[in-house]
Structure formats: C-alpha cells, structure tokens
A and B are shown apart, each in its own frame.
Chain A
Amino acid sequence: MSSPTAGGTFTFGATLGLALVCALFLLTGFTWGDGWTADDKAVLASMSLDRLPPAPRDPSNAVEALPAAAALGKRLFADVRFSRNQAVSCATCHAPDRQFQDGLPVGQGVGSGSRRTMPIAGAAHSPWFFWDGRKDSLWAQALGPLEDSVEHGSNRTRIAKLLQAHYKPEYEALFGPLPDLSGLPDDAGPQGNPAERAAWQNMDVARREHVSRVFAGLGKAVAAYERTLGPGEARFDRYVRAVLAADPVGQQALAPQEVNGLRLFIGKGQCATCHNGPLFTDQHFHNTGVPPRDPARPDHGRAAATAKVQHDEFNCLGAFSDAREDACQELRFMVSGDPALEGAFKTPGLRNVALRAPYMHAGQFASLEEVIAHYVQSPAAAVGHSELAHEGKGHAERRPIRLSASEARDVAAFLRTLSGPPPSLD
C-alpha cells in the first residue's frame, strides 16, 4: 500500500493535520479525573496480567499437565550431562535467576549462537517458538538446542542412553517402558557431525524411531516444567487495577512520567500495535528493520522458518505428536510464502523487559533507549521490507513514530514498570 501523497508539502500537511486531529480527538475524549477515556481503559485492561488466561492446552503433549512430568522436566532442564562438554544445560542460557535468559547478545552453549536467548515465562501462550517460529510446540522447541552443534551439541542416541541410565523410573512412569537401546552406537543422530549422521543412517528404521520417541519424551517433560513458569505481577498491573476501580491512591503505583510513557505506548508511539495483550505481544512475526548482527550473513527470520516447521518430524502433525490432525490448527493454517515474512521476527513479550538487556533477536541494542530510538528512526530493512512507516511513503494508515527525546525517555520509564517478581523458583 502506498500513501495518497501528492508531494512533500501535502505529506507534511497531512502529518501535521493528523497529529492535530489525533490530539483533539484524544482531548475531547478525556474523562477528567484519571485522564483515561473508556476506550483507553479497555486497552489498559486488555494488557493487565489479570486478563491472562491459562496457557492454551498443547494437544501434541499428553503429559504437559502432569506434575510428575514437570518435576522430571525441571531436573532435565538443569542437567549438564546432556551436553557434549558436560557443562551446558538448558539453564545455562535460560538461567532461572536471570528471567530464564543469559543477558548476552547471542546464546553461548558449547559454541556461540547467532540469536538472543529468549525468556521462558509465559512462553506456553505462544503458538510458535524461537525468534523465527521454526517450532510449533514447547516440547519440539526444547529438543532443538540439544542437537544443535553450538548449543548442547549432543546427539539422539547419547541422550536416549543418558535418560535410560539416570531417569529410567521417572521416564517409564510417564511414557511406558523404555525401548531396548543395547547395541546402538553411543553417538548417532540426524543433526550431528558427519560420523554421527552416518551412524544414524546405518541404524534400523524402527530403532531410529524408538530413539526419537525417547528423545521426544524428554522434550515433553521439559515443556511440562516450562509451562509452569509465568510472569509475576508488575507495578503496571497494580496501576491498571486502580484505574479500573477509579482508585486515585492506587494510581500512584505509577509516577506521572511513567503514566505519560504508557499513554505514548498505546497512543502515538504505536507500540501496542504489536506489543498488545497481557504478555505485550501479538505472538506474530514482523519486520521492523532491525539491522542484522552480521551484515555479511543477513537473517531471513520467519521466511526461512515456515518450511522448517512444516517438515519438522517433531511438529504437531508428526509421528511423535499426541494430537489428532484436526487439533493442529496453527500448523494447518500457517501463513507461508508471504513477502512480509522476509526478515520478520517474533514480537517479544515485554514483561520484565527492563531486566533483560540487550535487545532484539541478536542483541543488537544495549538499552531500551536504543530500541526506542530505532523505532523513531525506522531505518530501511537490510532484508525484506520494514513495516514501520516512513515520511512520504509506507502505509497510509500507519504513521511514522514521532517521539521527542523526553517522550522517548517516558516510554522507557513506562517499560520499567513491567518488571515483576521472577517466575517461581521452588
């Protein structure tokens, strides 16, 4: 779509007029007292933690709600034996005492990754996992790093044998008897080094299937644990509750600067276009022109991931899923082949965002201020096209994000009100 521009003068006039009319529209809609209109209050309520429903059921994981699965998953999550160097566990990058992330621009497992470690609290609400959504369940996601050469760097037969050696009773109580793993190579897997891949190919098809099923079970237990991790209440939530109750004392939970930042966040800053709902994410993929970490190797994001998830043996429609085909709706009706997916990444949720710099999919920005400055500058995308509007072009309906320096500071101040207690560490 292109704007109905008839030259720079009209564009300038349109922008100015638009801002004036928007301001007038907002002003006349005010209800004096708390300063929020009925529409505003509905938006605030929609972002409150009180509105977060229970995580949707994952039909592909039959054990996800079992406490025994979560207990096993928690132990597996912290077990370094599942890594090539015996030093890396899920908790290495997803550190429970650091919002289940590592504070690094890109993950550091047995090697160095190419993307930012994502936090886990609330992740069970998402239909797609990783920054590019190349997995369609928490359990399928949990399997990826185990076989990734720079994360855990392990392989499928080694993992199955470790499970048998250290977790047999717990595993069998959930998934039934372990298969006979005797005589299998110690190191074999479809994602491993050439020797491991060759060893995997030499295995009997049925035994490969047995090993993959054990591997999938590990993922399902880890997912059951991760599903128990949700975000804690933040100052923002207490403020919204006070606004909805017309409680002026309770509204002091936020300082005036933070309230102004919130107003900008849902208003002319347009942040809430994508960062909406109680987790502050639409769970979708967008290209906002974030510069690639390595310009020589641009990251295609979602565009390169739809085929991966479609063909993933551990997806909802695969042999290791517990779901009926008609329950796999997200996968069946997934958007693919859309040019808008080129260079698009998942909208990250913003709860506790101030506690987990650096930002964006490869830690490109060190501070919230840098992130906001990026959206104001809205540079052209290195890969695909940025959705952000530019002066004189872009969407007729979406306006360029214009924030003064003090307004940008206010938005950053608001974002710091989204911090709450860490997910349960019991």
Chain B
Amino acid sequence: MSRHLISLALLTTALTACGTPPNDLDRSLRHSSTQGRYVVQMDPPAAGPAVNQIHAWQIRLSAPDGTPVRHARIAVDGGMPQHGHGLPTRPQVTREVADGTYLMEGMKFSMTGWWEVKLAVQAEPGADTAVFNMVVDTAGVQR
C-alpha cells in the first residue's frame, strides 16, 4: 500500500472512529443489488422508527425493468460499522404482503448513529445482496 493510500485510509478510519458517519455515505433507501440482479427499496415505518423500539419495514424487490420479484427468500443482517457490533435483534422477512413486497419484522436500532442493513436475496433470477446505510437520529432514519 502506498504512503498516500495509507494516509487516506487513516483519515477515513479516524473520521469514522470519531463517531460521525462518512460524508459520502450512500443513504439511499432504493438502489440496485450488488450484482445488479434486483432493484431493492426499503420502506421505513410511517412514524419513526424510534430508537430501541421494535418495528417493521417493507422491502420492495423488483427486476431491473421494474417487474416485481415474487417468492423471494430474504435474509437480514447488519450492525454498526463504527462500533463493531451487530443488530440487537434478529429481524426476519416473515411474508410477502403483495407481489414483490415483503414484510421485514423485528428490526431495532438500539442507539442513534450509522447502521448498516444487509439483505441476502435468493429468488428466481439468482442470489444477490443489497446493503443499506441508515443514519438514525431521535427523529428516525435521516433522509
């Protein structure tokens, strides 16, 4: 690793270690999955979510052309990258509430700050993952 790269890595680490999320953090709640197989949209609950309160999200899964993707299995993982800990609960996608729209229950943010939510999607087009950055404050997820 060149000296410059080390300096850059150091700066990035230092800033994130100070507790403020990186400025260039992608906070979008709708984007393509890692390999481009799906477009994934995360819909937060209408109110909040409040810190330390279990709540549900909806996940909208579609093909790149916008067609809803049905019968997917979606596993949820995540945590706080700046604190090195995972989610305080084990959220699950419990059912498909409409074509390509899935209910993710059991979500909880135990503190304010930057949370990562990782989805592992398995459906007919193939396996793929999607990662969402959520910056939670007392008013809910910042947009």
Contact = CB atoms under 8 A, between A and B. Distances in A.
A276 interface: yes
A395 interface: yes
Interface in A180-211: none
A335 B86 contact: yes
Interface residues of B, number: 38
Contacts of A340: 85-86
A373 to B, nearest CB: 22
Interface string A16-28: 0110011001100
A21 B83 contact: no
Contacts of A330: 54, 89
A275 B50 CA distance: 18
Given A18-B10, A334-B89, A398-B83, A46 B54 contact: no
Interface stretch (A254-262, A277-285, A355-363, A411-419): A277-285
A281 to B, nearest CB: 9
A116 interface: no
Interface in B14-49: 14-20
B51 A277 contact: yes
A21 B16 CA distance: 11
Contacts, number: 99
Contacts of B50: 53
B110 A10 contact: no
Contacts of B106: 329, 332-333
Contact of A4 (B9, B54, B112): B9
Contacts of A14: 10, 13
Contact of B18 (A10, A25, A56, A273): A25
B89 A397 contact: no
A294 interface: no
A389 B83 CA distance: 10
A46 B112 contact: yes
Q: Which of A17, A387, A397 is the most central at the interface, judged by chain B CB atoms within 10 Å of its CB?
A: A397
Interface string A384-400: 00010100001111110
Contacts of B83: 273, 397-398
A387 B84 contact: yes
Nearest to A332: B106
A240 B37 CA distance: 49
B86 A46 contact: no
A165 B20 CA distance: 60
Q: Which of A45, A332, A399 is the most central at the interface, judged by chain B CB atoms within 10 Å of its CB?
A: A332
Nearest to B11: A21
B89 A333 contact: yes
A6 interface: yes
Interface string B85-100: 1111111100000000
Contact of A25 (B14, B54, B111): B14
A329 B105 contact: yes
Chain A to chain B: the 4 pairs with minimum beta-carbon distance, closest first: A333-B106, A395-B84, A21-B14, A329-B54
